Amino acid sequence: MATCPCARYAGRSAIGCPAGGQGRSPGRQQSGVLPEEMRLLVSENPNARTSRPSQVSHASGEGENGAFAPAAVVILAAGEGTRMKSRTPKVLHTLSGRSLLGHAIAVAGDLGPQRLVIVVGHAREQVSAAARAVAPEAAIVVQEQQLGTGHAVRMVIESLGVLAGTVVVTYGDMPLLRGRTLAELASRHAQAGNAVTVLTARGDFPGFGRIVRDADGAFLRIVEERDATEAELGIDEFNSGCYAFDGTLLADAIKRVTTSNSQREEYLTDVVEILRGDGHPVGALLAADPAEIRGVNDRVQLAQARRALNDRILTDWMLDGVTIVDPASTWNPRHAHHRQGRR
């Protein structure tokens, strides 16, 4: 089941989710299709409002084993998660021995960021305590009112100042997202010299924003489902809501995000349009495994994610030579891995 991001964090990928979550019709035109051999393509707006050259600065560092380390990873975990129908905050529900937030923190740790930032809001005391228990070095930023993803990131910048270098934004409810996927997003972003790089996936994700590309496959824009044309609804590449930004440009653009939408909230997707409109290069990276962008909104999706993550771990074990007689009835309760570094 695809998880509609508008239900998790307004403005993340889709502003409005259609009733019933209907997908696209099979006969619709597949526009904006990305060639399989071209997972990362950069786009600059030839009709930008300004003609100044892109001034992208990626002052990040080097992580473990010489891998690229972003300046910061920001985890958005302020949402209430009412569809869980639980007194427990959504991001503290568990699977494979970790909370949803714990998985997000572990994935962020794989990148070796210079700073880890966690945005909290609903049940902030509980969520903050849980975050500090596993990541005492993390900076906790409070979003007093949940006014959209753009507002959450603005609270980070207002609290901590400009985060120069590559800033990765992800979420506290995506337990299937792999560290290596975020690491590739950050490193490819820096290599391309982009102002922002969007993590995308192919599949069927009702309610998610579509990625529109030009005839050469270069990124053009994100179109929300409710605003899409019939041809755009046939696009099978979707916005995950995860991004790698140039931190300096992000700090400037986030101040220009408006609330001129039906939800009266600040959407992070608007930053992408602002940066491209300013003439800065924008790119998109296609996730190798579409399941990674699925999030958790309710207990059904939590159970589905728990099964998928358990299957992934057991598959790693079996490929490493461990005999598992019946994977369907075998559970790994502590998120242990047979070989270090596998995720």
Top-level class of domain 29-45+54-293 = alpha beta
Could you give the dihedral angle defined by the CA atoms of residues 321, 323, 326 and 328, in that order, rounded to the nearest 10 degrees?
A: -30
> Is residue 205 left, alpha or beta, with left meaning phi > 0 and alpha meaning psi from -120 to 50?
beta
- The alpha carbon of residue 25 and the mean position of all alpha carbons in its chain are separated, in whole angstroms, by 26
Provide the 10 A C-beta neighbour count for residue 208. Answer: 28
C-alpha R_g of the chain: 19
Provide the 10 A C-beta neighbour count for residue 243. Answer: 25
Q: What is the pLDDT of residue 44?
A: 52
141 SS3 class? strand
DSSP 57-114: ----EE-GGG-EE-SEEEEEE----GGG-SSS-GGG-EETTEEHHHHHHHHHHHT--S
189 SS3 class? helix
CA gap 28, 223 in Å, rounded? 16
Where exactly are the structural domains of the chain?
Answer: 29-45+54-293
Reading the chain (343 residues) residue by residue, the pLDDT tens digits are 444 444 444 444 433 333 333 333 333 334 444 443 344 555 555 544 443 434 555 456 655 545 789 999 999 999 999 999 999 999 999 999 999 999 999 999 999 999 999 999 999 999 999 999 999 999 999 999 999 999 999 999 999 999 999 999 999 999 999 999 999 999 999 999 999 999 999 998 888 899 999 899 888 889 888 888 999 999 999 999 999 999 999 999 999 999 988 788 999 999 999 999 999 999 999 999 999 999 999 999 999 999 999 999 999 999 999 999 999 999 976 655 444 444 4
CA gap 343, 313 in Å, rounded? 7
Q: What is the pLDDT of residue 227?
A: 82
Q: What is the pLDDT of residue 333?
A: 65
Q: What is the pLDDT of residue 7?
A: 40
| Range list of H helices, 135-240 | 149-160, 179-192, 230-233
| CA atoms within 13 A of residue 155's CA, in its CB half-sphere | 26
CA gap 9, 266 in Å, rounded? 11
Taking the model in full, what pTM does it have? 0.81
CA gap 73, 135 in Å, rounded? 13
Residue 83 known to be catalytic: yes
- Which of 10, 144, 154, 170 lies closest to 81 in space, CA to CA? 10
| CA atoms within 13 A of residue 293's CA, in its CB half-sphere | 29
CB-based contact 208:14 (threshold 8 Å): yes
Q: Which of 28, 39, 83, 124 is catalytic?
A: 83
CA gap 238, 243 in Å, rounded? 13
Using DSSP bridges, classify how beta strands 196-202 and 282-286 pair: parallel, antiparallel or unpaired: parallel
